[in-house]
Chains A and B, each alone.
Chain A
Amino acid sequence: MSAAPVLLEMRSITKTFPGVKALADVNLVVREGEIHAICGENGAGKSTLMKVLSGVYPYGDYSGEIRYRGEEARFGDIRASEQAGIVIIHQELALIPGMSITENIFLGNEPRTGLAIDWKTAQRRALELMKLVGLREDPDALVKDIGVGKQQLIEIAKAFAKDVKLLILDEPTAALNESDSQQLLDLLREFKTQGITSIIISHKLNEIEAIADSITILRDGRTIETLDVKADGVNEDRIVRGMVGRDMESRFPDHTPNVGEVFFEVRDWTVRHPIATDRLVCKHANFSVRRGEVVGFAGLMGAGRTELAMSLFGRSYGTWLSGQVFKDGREIKLRTVSEAIEHGLAYVSEDRKAIGLNLLDDIKTSIVAAKPAKIARHGVIDEVAEHRVAEDYRQELRIKTPSVDEGISKLSGGNQQKVVLAKWMFSDPDLLILDEPTRGIDVGAKFEIYGIINRLAEQGKGVVVISSELPELIGLCDRIYTVFEGTITGEVARADADPERLMKQMTTTKKMPV
């Protein structure tokens, strides 16, 4: 592999923001036709490096040299880098939901006859490109009507419409389920056979191990090392060591479960889809949680896990049809979010930026947001108490911030997630439902959040963890329910849990004996 000629070389790239050196002397060598992974914790400088490469930070804004196809490249903006065949696909998809697939593929790049857009050619080429990326859809279908996985493919098709030489994917599978992720990775392998070079940024180390030819590891804005996957015999632990600068003895903190009796029980929970009235998103779900227990919910994306959790949490999703909730043996009604909070429920959503936090708030306000009455007298907030509470959580959860008066938006993903956890811990819950609590969070912060979950369980609270990462569930949970198409298909104790067994239950409608 190393025999292939060098396509891209970035030499001692340094990029400074006011007060912070984001990149210091970073080197990157990418050879033609390879899949090159860039790994690093959040804030290591991966995205900044890609922004330098794609011209988001134009030439002159950084120091160092970019050599591309043997010549020095000085990109003034994204258009310039795109013309050179470098296309970046960002984590947040840049698609317009109300437009068709064809329109999106050719947005800003429309084939024309004179002044008019040549829709016939566009349509024909769109079909070719869609075939290339393995997308079978009506090219006139609106983007909003198709799934996230397919939207990712449209982004790639869009890149090919621009005659791509070097494809950069920033966290391409973060929002995809297992099978869509697999399909995408296969596609990258196929491109490789066609001689297209890819750079992939991902937190999912198993994927990187499976697909990458070489790996460059960044830490604190510096290049740590570049590994040749085959030659160096790289595995996940090796990558983690490079990223965090030490061996992680275990990816899960030690925890001795101390499980009590059942205190929370859901019976026959059935919920209808909010728009498609003939669809049930939860079908007669029954489950229970014991005191001090961490219960996992495994399932593919769209299986109905989030829907189940949100509908329990004050009917925040869909239309409730039937079902009862019992806490400590008594039936409780959870018709509104406030009632749910009153009864000791807490729900940490999977999308903290969209629905979990008010990004305009500062840390202390966010922490008390779910139960402000606790630090208020006659409706007037006691600022001293508020500050004290926030300061306590900052220390307890090790939220990295100079002060609890800082804005939430200034925190990294992991620290934001800790603030969300603090917010719900402050609401004095008996049962915490955590929906994808470690999504988009780096390895170090994940470990800390696992620790917090264990501590909550040790305090005798029930914790429900919804996750798409099976190793996480197996490492963390005392018991795991599997969900498929709105039905709870099985229940596995920690001792019996292995990925194959879970995956089987997650993809079958047959109800396993409980």
Chain B
Amino acid sequence: MSGLQDLKKNLFGGTTSVGRQFGMIFTLVAIILLFEVLTDGLTLTSGNLIAVVSQYSYILILAIGMLMVIVAGHIDLSVGSVAAFVGIVVAKAIQNFDLPWPLGIALGLVVGALIGAWQGFWVAYVGVPAFIVTLAGMLLFRGGNQFIGNADTVPVPEGFRTIGAGYLPEVGPATGYNNLTLLLGLIACLAVAWREWRSRKTRQEMGAEPAPLWISGLRLAVMVGVIIFATLRFAGGRVGTSLPVSGIILIGLVLIYSFYTRNTVSGRRIYAVGGNARAAELSGVKLQRVNFFVMTNMGILAALAGMIFVARSAASGPQDGLSWELDAIAAVFIGGAAVSGGLGTVSGSIVGGLVMALLNNGLQLMGVGVDLVQMIKGLVLLFAVALDVYNKSQGRFSIIDSITRPFRRDEPPAAVPPVESPRQTDKTPAAG
């Protein structure tokens, strides 16, 4: 096998997961580069990257929860309303009872969990379709927001604003960068190197041949390069800014939930339930528990997203959370989840959400009006999913599929090359 083929196979859309992650990120990179050119280099400035992260982190947090809900075969239309409801409850509680703001956040998470449990109860134990339960929730909690807030805008204290508008403090020697962001970048680089090394070891243990060494090196170099670039950008913004706190919360959640959905027994059960509920049940999975969990979890994440938005806006208002559910759902589907459930990944949804976010941001920087932006976003959603459906129906390489599968099932070793024999005809639609 020539080096070029090796590269193609292993680095770009090949069989290894890390390789295919690049394939997915290509779409994103293409959009970034397109706008970098169209906006004369504004897209990748420190200020803009920081703004994008703090502007969209709450949507991406919703997308994590929404991914799990959709994988389990449900949908949640109420996230925007729940976020708004929690936001106003927390803002009012802090205002009226002089609650310290950390307690306010804790209160918000508890309220979110209760709302999630309420909706989970109807979905899991009574069997009302999630579409209906959350449509009801959408009305219920939007009304609740107006009822409690008297449709008024309630400010939150300075400390609370940290989670939405805060940055890492400036500490240590004057390096010309935000030192804590640099530290995070360094940790990320080490983590990536460790992971690459681990994945090679794992593949060896499985008895599969790991990718050629130079490919691992190149892959690592690209990833480290991207991390360093991002780190310097985020650390090199205006003094007093850094990687936003909301971005750090988001990254933490992505890591936790990716691991959870991919590597744990209970995470897998969500996929089992969404893929074939009856089969999952007959394999000993407790359906009700899984459904209850994904809805409750969604409630908690919606609460967190709502509070981050309130923190960023410095106040909770009656229009918070309007049509967030649509952004979150769009991110999940662009990220390759199946409408019928059972398929999709956290990382895919995040990249789907980032595609939407950078599209939005790039068009805004170009001065394109919101009306047109909405139309373009609608078309992008339609075409992204249509292209994937079309490619699948043609039995061809599906971008989203190839992009997302490896996120879910890590490290598939290409142990045995596919044997093409006539008996394999039943792998095609032609089974006799």
User: Interface code A338-358, partner B: CB below 8 Å = 1, 0 otherwise?
Assistant: 101100000101000011111
Asked if residues B275 and A360 are in contact (CB atoms below 8 Å), the reply is yes
Asked if residues B432 and A218 are in contact (CB atoms below 8 Å), the reply is yes
Q: Looking at the complex, which one of A40, A337, A358, A402 makes contact with B284 (CB distance below 8 Å)?
A: A337
For B342, what are the chain A residues with a Cβ–Cβ distance below 8 Å? 358, 360
Asked if residues A376 and B412 are in contact (CB atoms below 8 Å), the reply is no
Asked if residues A17 and B282 are in contact (CB atoms below 8 Å), the reply is no
Asked if residues A360 and B343 are in contact (CB atoms below 8 Å), the reply is yes
Asked if residues B282 and A48 are in contact (CB atoms below 8 Å), the reply is no
Residue of B205, B395, B416, B427 ringed by the most chain A CB atoms within 10 A:
B427
Asked if residues B431 and A412 are in contact (CB atoms below 8 Å), the reply is yes
In the complex formed, the residue of A with least CB distance to B208 is A387
Asked if residues A220 and B431 are in contact (CB atoms below 8 Å), the reply is no
Q: Looking at the complex, which one of A17, A22, A48, A402 makes contact with B417 (CB distance below 8 Å)?
A: A402
Determine if B126 is an interface residue (Cβ-Cβ < 8 Å): no
Q: Looking at the complex, which one of A15, A221, A359, A365 makes contact with B276 (CB distance below 8 Å)?
A: A359
How close is A220's CB to chain B, nearest CB, in angstroms? 4
Determine if B209 is an interface residue (Cβ-Cβ < 8 Å): no
Determine if A329 is an interface residue (Cβ-Cβ < 8 Å): no
Determine if A383 is an interface residue (Cβ-Cβ < 8 Å): yes
User: Which residues from 189 to 209 on chain B have a C-beta closer than 8 Å to any C-beta of chain A?
Assistant: 202, 205-207
For B206, what are the chain A residues with a Cβ–Cβ distance below 8 Å? 383-384, 387-388, 391
For B282, what are the chain A residues with a Cβ–Cβ distance below 8 Å? 313, 316, 337, 347, 349, 355-356
Asked if residues B284 and A338 are in contact (CB atoms below 8 Å), the reply is yes
User: Which residues from 15 to 55 on chain A have a C-beta closer than 8 Å to any C-beta of chain B?
Assistant: 15, 17-23, 40-49, 51
For B411, what are the chain A residues with a Cβ–Cβ distance below 8 Å? 383
Determine if B8 is an interface residue (Cβ-Cβ < 8 Å): no
Asked if residues A369 and B272 are in contact (CB atoms below 8 Å), the reply is yes
For A362, what are the chain B residues with a Cβ–Cβ distance below 8 Å? 409, 412
Determine if B418 is an interface residue (Cβ-Cβ < 8 Å): yes
Asked if residues A221 and B425 are in contact (CB atoms below 8 Å), the reply is yes
Asked if residues A20 and B279 are in contact (CB atoms below 8 Å), the reply is no
In the complex formed, the residue of B with least CB distance to A414 is B426
Asked if residues A43 and B410 are in contact (CB atoms below 8 Å), the reply is no
Give Cα distance in the complex from A395 to B285, angstroms: 28
For B343, what are the chain A residues with a Cβ–Cβ distance below 8 Å? 360
Asked if residues B422 and A221 are in contact (CB atoms below 8 Å), the reply is yes
How close is A107's CB to chain B, nearest CB, in angstroms? 24
Asked if residues A381 and B431 are in contact (CB atoms below 8 Å), the reply is no
Give Cα distance in the complex from A314 to B414, angstroms: 39
Asked if residues B268 and A372 are in contact (CB atoms below 8 Å), the reply is yes
Asked if residues A338 and B286 are in contact (CB atoms below 8 Å), the reply is yes
Give Cα distance in the complex from A338 to B288, angstroms: 14
User: Which residues from 362 to 383 on chain B have a C-beta closer than 8 Å to any C-beta of chain A?
Assistant: none
Q: Looking at the complex, which one of B202, B417, B426 makes contact with A383 (CB distance below 8 Å)?
A: B202
Asked if residues A402 and B418 are in contact (CB atoms below 8 Å), the reply is yes
User: Interface code B264-283, partner A: CB below 8 Å = 1, 0 otherwise?
Assistant: 11101001100110111111
For B286, what are the chain A residues with a Cβ–Cβ distance below 8 Å? 336, 338
For B430, what are the chain A residues with a Cβ–Cβ distance below 8 Å? 15, 17, 20, 22-23, 43, 45, 47-48, 51
For B280, what are the chain A residues with a Cβ–Cβ distance below 8 Å? 358, 369
Asked if residues B432 and A43 are in contact (CB atoms below 8 Å), the reply is yes
Asked if residues B432 and A40 are in contact (CB atoms below 8 Å), the reply is yes
Asked if residues A365 and B409 are in contact (CB atoms below 8 Å), the reply is yes
Determine if A380 is an interface residue (Cβ-Cβ < 8 Å): yes
Give Cα distance in the complex from A196 to B203, angstroms: 60
Asked if residues B278 and A354 are in contact (CB atoms below 8 Å), the reply is yes
User: Which residues from 240 to 298 on chain B have a C-beta closer than 8 Å to any C-beta of chain A?
Assistant: 263-266, 268, 271-272, 275-276, 278-286
Determine if B419 is an interface residue (Cβ-Cβ < 8 Å): yes
For B424, what are the chain A residues with a Cβ–Cβ distance below 8 Å? 20, 43, 400
Asked if residues B428 and A403 are in contact (CB atoms below 8 Å), the reply is no
Give Cα distance in the complex from A155 to B280, angstroms: 32
Determine if A405 is an interface residue (Cβ-Cβ < 8 Å): yes
Give Cα distance in the complex from A22 to B432, angstroms: 9
Asked if residues B279 and A357 are in contact (CB atoms below 8 Å), the reply is yes
**Given A360-B343, A380-B264, A405-B413, does the pair A20, B420 have CB atoms closer than 8 Å?**
yes
**Given A19-B420, A388-B206, A402-B418, does the pair A316, B263 have CB atoms closer than 8 Å?**
no
Asked if residues B265 and A44 are in contact (CB atoms below 8 Å), the reply is no
How close is B3's CB to chain A, nearest CB, in angstroms? 24
Residue of B286, B412, B422, B426 ringed by the most chain A CB atoms within 10 A:
B426
Determine if A410 is an interface residue (Cβ-Cβ < 8 Å): yes
In the complex formed, the residue of A with least CB distance to B419 is A402
User: Interface code B42-66, partner A: CB below 8 Å = 1, 0 otherwise?
Assistant: 0000000000000000000000000
Determine if A370 is an interface residue (Cβ-Cβ < 8 Å): yes
Asked if residues B283 and A369 are in contact (CB atoms below 8 Å), the reply is yes
Determine if B415 is an interface residue (Cβ-Cβ < 8 Å): yes
For A371, what are the chain B residues with a Cβ–Cβ distance below 8 Å? 284
Asked if residues A379 and B425 are in contact (CB atoms below 8 Å), the reply is no
Asked if residues A358 and B410 are in contact (CB atoms below 8 Å), the reply is no
Give Cα distance in the complex from A300 to B409, angstroms: 42
Asked if residues A220 and B423 are in contact (CB atoms below 8 Å), the reply is yes
Q: Looking at the complex, which one of B266, B271, B285, B416 makes contact with A403 (CB distance below 8 Å)?
A: B416
For B266, what are the chain A residues with a Cβ–Cβ distance below 8 Å? 379
For B268, what are the chain A residues with a Cβ–Cβ distance below 8 Å? 365, 372, 381
**Given A316-B281, A359-B275, does the pair A400, B423 have CB atoms closer than 8 Å?**
yes
For B395, what are the chain A residues with a Cβ–Cβ distance below 8 Å? 17-18
Determine if A268 is an interface residue (Cβ-Cβ < 8 Å): no
Determine if A321 is an interface residue (Cβ-Cβ < 8 Å): no
Determine if B429 is an interface residue (Cβ-Cβ < 8 Å): yes
Determine if A65 is an interface residue (Cβ-Cβ < 8 Å): no
Asked if residues A45 and B432 are in contact (CB atoms below 8 Å), the reply is yes
Give Cα distance in the complex from A387 to B409, angstroms: 11
Determine if A141 is an interface residue (Cβ-Cβ < 8 Å): no
In the complex formed, the residue of A with least CB distance to B205 is A384
For B423, what are the chain A residues with a Cβ–Cβ distance below 8 Å? 43, 220, 400
**Given A379-B266, A380-B264, does the pair A358, B279 have CB atoms closer than 8 Å?**
yes
For A313, what are the chain B residues with a Cβ–Cβ distance below 8 Å? 282
Determine if A428 is an interface residue (Cβ-Cβ < 8 Å): no
Asked if residues A20 and B283 are in contact (CB atoms below 8 Å), the reply is no
Asked if residues A356 and B284 are in contact (CB atoms below 8 Å), the reply is no
Determine if A209 is an interface residue (Cβ-Cβ < 8 Å): no
**Given A383-B202, A383-B411, does the pair A412, B263 have CB atoms closer than 8 Å?**
no
Asked if residues A356 and B279 are in contact (CB atoms below 8 Å), the reply is yes
How close is A384's CB to chain B, nearest CB, in angstroms? 5
**Given A316-B282, A354-B278, A359-B276, does the pair A43, B263 have CB atoms closer than 8 Å?**
no
For B416, what are the chain A residues with a Cβ–Cβ distance below 8 Å? 402-403
Asked if residues B414 and A373 are in contact (CB atoms below 8 Å), the reply is no
Give Cα distance in the complex from A49 to B425, angstroms: 13
Asked if residues B275 and A361 are in contact (CB atoms below 8 Å), the reply is yes
How close is A476's CB to chain B, nearest CB, in angstroms? 23
Give Cα distance in the complex from A379 to B262, angstroms: 11
Give Cα distance in the complex from A43 to B422, angstroms: 9
User: Interface code B337-358, partner A: CB below 8 Å = 1, 0 otherwise?
Assistant: 0100011000000000000000
Give Cα distance in the complex from A370 to B342, angstroms: 17
Give Cα distance in the complex from A48 to B430, angstroms: 5
Give Cα distance in the complex from A370 to B285, angstroms: 8
Asked if residues B284 and A370 are in contact (CB atoms below 8 Å), the reply is yes
Give Cα distance in the complex from A347 to B284, angstroms: 11
The 7 closest A-B pairs by CB, nearest first: A43-B426, A358-B275, A412-B426, A405-B412, A46-B432, A22-B430, A48-B430
- 18 other A-B residue contacts (CB within 8 Å) besides A220-B422, A314-B284, A340-B284: A15-B430, A17-B395, A17-B425, A17-B428, A43-B432, A49-B432, A221-B425, A336-B284, A337-B284, A354-B278, A361-B272, A376-B264, A380-B264, A383-B411, A403-B412, A403-B415, A403-B418, A405-B413
Can you list 11 A-B pairs, Cβ within 8 angstroms, ordered by A? A22-B430, A42-B431, A44-B425, A221-B422, A355-B279, A356-B282, A358-B275, A361-B271, A383-B206, A405-B409, A413-B426
Interface residues of A (CB under 8 A from B): 15, 17-23, 40-49, 51, 218, 220-221, 313-314, 316, 336-338, 340-341, 347, 349, 354-362, 365, 369-373, 376, 379-381, 383-384, 387-388, 391, 400, 402-403, 405, 410-413, 423
